[in-house]
Amino acid sequence: MFAHFKIETGSKTGEINDLTIKPYKLEDKTTPFDVVLYASEFEPGAVNFKLMYSTVLFKRGTIERLIVHFVNIAREVSENPGIKISSIEMFSPGEEESFFHSSQKKIEGLEIDFDF
């Protein structure tokens, strides 16, 4: 899941009659989905990201690679806004060959090729 929030940084508190409203930092300890990427704009040109994932489903290394791929995609799109999706490189140099090579698995003597 992807969620984008644009947060106005004007007033941090508000009042309604005798009620004062102020921000409260809430720490998320669980994620409602397998993977959630939050993007928050606090000021123009500055986007903060927070990635949450199920530790039951994903290893930390897998998520770290996912983050690197996301950064690679974001960098390509920001450097070339007119780029076609099919032309975007998400893998780092040398990673693509390693990825496809390791995707070939053997299960009980049966060889399975994963084509992406």
d(CA 84, CA 61): 29
pLDDT tens for 35-69 read 988 888 777 777 888 888 999 999 999 999 888 88
Residues 43 and 96 in one domain: no
pTM for the model stands at 0.60
d(CA 47, CA 78): 13
Q: What is the pLDDT of residue 6?
A: 64
Residues 69 and 105 in one domain: yes
d(CA 116, CA 103): 10
Confidence at 11, pLDDT banded by 50, 70, 90: low
d(CA 34, CA 92): 24
pLDDT, averaged across the chain: 76
Residues 76 and 43 in one domain: no
Residues 42 and 10 in one domain: yes
Structural domain boundaries, residue 7? 1-54
Residue 84 has pLDDT above 50, yes or no: yes
d(CA 113, CA 116): 10
| Domains in the chain, number | 2
